[in-house]
Structure 1
Amino acid sequence: MSDLKQYRQSEKLLVVMPTWVGDCVMAVPTLRAFRQLYPNAHIAALIKEGALPIIEDCPYINRIIPIRKRPASSDEPRGGGPMKVARYLAKENFDTAILLPNSFRTALMARMALIPRRVGYDRDGRGFLLTDRLMVRRENGKFIPVSTLDYYLGIARYLGAQQPSHQMELFTNEQNDAKALDMLKQGGWTPDCGKPLVMLNPGARYGEAKMWYPDRFAQVARMCVDKLDATIAITGAPRERNILDEVIASTDVPMIDLPKMGMDLGTLKSVVKHATLMVSNDTGPRHIAAAFGVPVVTVFGPTDPRWTEIDFEHERIVRVDVFCGPCQKRTCPLDHRCMTQVTPEMVFEQVQELLSSESKQETSA
Structure 2
Amino acid sequence: MALEYILPGTVTQESPAVMHTLEFKEEPGRVLLVLPTWVGDVVMATPFVRALFMRFPDAEITLLMNHHLYPLLEGSPWVQHCEFWAPRKKTAEAKQQQRELLIRLKARRFDLAVMLPNSLRSAWLCFRAGAKRRVGFSRDGRGLLLTDKVEVPNRVAGGYQPLPLCDYFAVLGDALGMEHPGDRLALFLTDQANEAVESRLLKDGVLPEQPLVVLCPGANFGASKCWDPKRFAAVADRLVNLHNAAIAISPGPGEEPLAEAIRDNMDAPSFLLTQPCLTLGELKSLIVRADLLLGNDTGPRHFGRALDTPRVTVFGPTEQRWTETSHGDETIVNVDVPCGPCHKKVCPLDEQVCMTQVTVEMVTEACEEQLSSSC
Inter-partner Cα distance in structure 1 for 2:374 and 2:283: 23
Shift of 1:101: 0.6
Conserved in 1, the CA contact under 8 Å of 2:230 and 2:265?
yes
**Equivalent of residue 283 in structure 2, options 268, 288, 292:** 268
Asked if 1:54 is matched to 2:72, the reply is yes
Deviations 1:292-321 (A, max 9, x none): 110111111011111122333301111100
How many equivalent pairs are there? Answer: 350
Q: Match of 1:257?
A: 272
Inter-partner Cα distance in structure 1 for 2:170 and 2:26: 17
Inter-partner Cα distance in structure 2 for 1:331 and 1:39: 45
**Equivalent of residue 35 in structure 1, options 53, 73, 89:** 53
Q: Match of 1:218?
A: 233
Inter-partner Cα distance in structure 2 for 1:164 and 1:245: 40
Greater shift in the superposed pair: 336-345 or 165-174: 165-174
SS in 1 for 2:140: coil
What is the one-letter code of the residue matched to 2:297?
A: D
**Equivalent of residue 293 in structure 1, options 290, 308, 328:** 308
Shift of 1:50: 2.0
Conserved in 2, the CA contact under 8 Å of 1:67 and 1:79?
no
Inter-partner Cα distance in structure 2 for 1:172 and 1:298: 23
Q: Match of 1:186?
A: 203
Deviations 1:255-284 (A, max 9, x none): 221223552111111111101110010111
Q: From the superposition, tell whether residues 180 and 62 of structure 1 become closer, same or farther in structure 2 (CA, over 3 Å).
A: same
What is the one-letter code of the residue matched to 1:146?
A: L
Inter-partner Cα distance in structure 2 for 1:302 and 1:188: 37
Conserved in 2, the CA contact under 8 Å of 1:8 and 1:38?
no
What is the one-letter code of the residue matched to 1:298?
A: T
Conserved in 2, the CA contact under 8 Å of 1:119 and 1:131?
yes
Shift of 1:203: 0.4
Shift of 1:150: 2.0
**Which consecutive unaligned segments of at least 5 residues does structure 2 have?**
3-20, 89-93
Asked if 1:93 is matched to 2:106, the reply is no
Deviations 1:177-235 (A, max 9, x none): 11111011112225xx2211000011001110111110011011111101111101011
Inter-partner Cα distance in structure 2 for 1:263 and 1:7: 47
Q: Match of 1:152?
A: 169
Conserved in 2, the CA contact under 8 Å of 1:69 and 1:79?
no
Conserved in 2, the CA contact under 8 Å of 1:35 and 1:61?
no
Inter-partner Cα distance in structure 1 for 2:34 and 2:202: 38
Conserved in 2, the CA contact under 8 Å of 1:203 and 1:211?
yes
User: TM-score under structure 2 normalisation?
Assistant: 0.89
Q: Match of 2:342?
A: 327
SS in 1 for 2:180: coil
Q: Match of 1:139?
A: 156
SS in 1 for 2:271: strand
Shift of 1:67: 2.5
Identity of matched residues, %? 41
Asked if 1:197 is matched to 2:212, the reply is yes
**Equivalent of residue 23 in structure 1, options 41, 52, 67:** 41
Q: Match of 1:305?
A: 320
Deviations 1:2-61 (A, max 9, x none): 473417711111111111111111111110010111111111111111212111122134
**What aligned pairs does 1:99-110 form with structure 2 within 5 A after superposition?**
99-110=115-126
Shift of 1:62: 2.8
Shift of 1:142: 2.1
Q: From the superposition, tell whether residues 198 and 7 of structure 1 become closer, same or farther in structure 2 (CA, over 3 Å).
A: farther
Shift of 1:133: 1.1
Shift of 1:158: 2.2
Q: From the superposition, tell whether residues 268 and 142 of structure 1 become closer, same or farther in structure 2 (CA, over 3 Å).
A: same
Shift of 1:347: 0.9
Greater shift in the superposed pair: 159-168 or 259-268: 259-268
Inter-partner Cα distance in structure 2 for 1:197 and 1:348: 15
Q: From the superposition, tell whether residues 179 and 222 of structure 1 become closer, same or farther in structure 2 (CA, over 3 Å).
A: same
User: TM-score under structure 1 normalisation?
Assistant: 0.91
Q: From the superposition, tell whether residues 97 and 197 of structure 1 become closer, same or farther in structure 2 (CA, over 3 Å).
A: same
What is the one-letter code of the residue matched to 1:152?
A: F
What is the one-letter code of the residue matched to 1:284?
A: G
Shift of 1:348: 1.4
Q: Match of 1:351?
A: 367
Inter-partner Cα distance in structure 1 for 2:118 and 2:84: 19
Q: Match of 1:175?
A: 192
Q: From the superposition, tell whether residues 263 and 45 of structure 1 become closer, same or farther in structure 2 (CA, over 3 Å).
A: same
Conserved in 2, the CA contact under 8 Å of 1:16 and 1:46?
yes
SS in 2 for 1:269: helix
What is the one-letter code of the residue matched to 2:212?
A: L
Conserved in 2, the CA contact under 8 Å of 1:85 and 1:109?
no
Inter-partner Cα distance in structure 1 for 2:253 and 2:25: 42
